[in-house]
Amino acid sequence: QATGTDQVVGLGLVAVSLIIFTYYTAWVILLPFIDSQHVIHKYFLPRAYAVAIPLAAGLLLLLFVGLFITYVMLKNQKGTKKAQ
């Protein structure tokens, strides 16, 4: 059973994810069809970042997953050596 705090944190994560998804979708899909002189363009980063930011985030995710797996494997290996 989820506590009230868990529900608030979950709702916050969903809200942040929805905001990021909406911003990115507007940036990548809708913005190219709007005139480049329109005022809305000042609220978005240059289009090159539309590839660079997700790429960097994906690489960081892979790095942290790899570090976590390495840590768990080394910790388990040390535990089995002590048992023997």
Average pLDDT over residues 22-33: 93
> Residue 25 and residue 22: Cα distance in Å, rounded?
5
> Residue 26 and residue 49: Cα distance in Å, rounded?
14
For the chain, which residues make up each domain, given as ranges? 1-37, 45-83
DSSP secondary structure string for all residues of 25-53: HIIIIIGGGS-TTSGGGGGS--TTHHHHH
CA distances from residue 51 to 31, 37, 73 in whole angstroms, order as listed: 15, 22, 33
| Contacts with 31 (C-beta within 8 Å, 6 or more apart), sequence order | 40, 41, 44, 47
Tell me, what's the pLDDT at 61? 97
Q: pLDDT tens, 51-77?
A: 999 999 999 999 999 999 999 999 988
Output the pTM of the full model: 0.70
